Amino acid sequence: MSELVKEFNDYRSKMNDKILADNNKIIKRIFNLDTNAFAEGALDVKTKELLGLVASTVLRCDDCVKYHLEASYKAGVPKEQVVETLGIATLIGGTIVIPHLRRAYEYWDALEAQS
């Protein structure tokens, strides 16, 4: 596994465990809502992950971008669709999202390098 991907996943897992261990009802419900929102429904998982990727890019959340890139990768979204999605996000978000676009490309490359 790419070191970039491993570091992100290890940190995310460790901190999620720590956060959820506090047993805060609101936080647990938000985590659950997030999980269920991205489950198969009227929209397929791939579409939902690409929507999450656009929103995350426009909101300039690098951790969220990484999460949705990895979920898209695992769902079998081809690079061409990811690139087109990031293009839409950049159009909507403007040039301020370009640094996040760079990191998104770097992370996608790391995902591809691990297989």
pLDDT at residue 86, as a whole number: 98
- pLDDT bucket at 115, cuts 50 / 70 / 90: confident
Give dist(CA 57, CA 92) in Å, integer.
9
- What distance lies between CA 57 and its chain's CA centroid? 9
| Across 34-40, average pLDDT | 97
| CA angle (20 as vertex; 22, 69 as ends), nearest 5 | 150
Measured in residues, the chain has a length of 115
| Across 30-42, average pLDDT | 97
Mean pLDDT, rounded, of the chain: 97
The DSSP-derived string for the chain is --HHHHHHHHHHHHHHHHHHHT--HHHHHHHHHHHHHTSSSSS-HHHHHHHHHHHHHHTT-HHHHHHHHHHHHHTT--HHHHHHHHHHHHHHH-GGGHHHHHHHHHHHHHHHHT-
Please write the tens of the pLDDT for every residue from 42-88: 999 999 999 999 999 999 999 999 999 999 999 999 999 999 999 99
| Across 20-47, average pLDDT | 97
Please answer whether residues 47 and 84 qualify as being in contact, where contact means their C-beta atoms are separated by less than 8 angstroms: no
- pLDDT bucket at 1, cuts 50 / 70 / 90: low
| Across 79-99, average pLDDT | 98
| Across 26-35, average pLDDT | 97
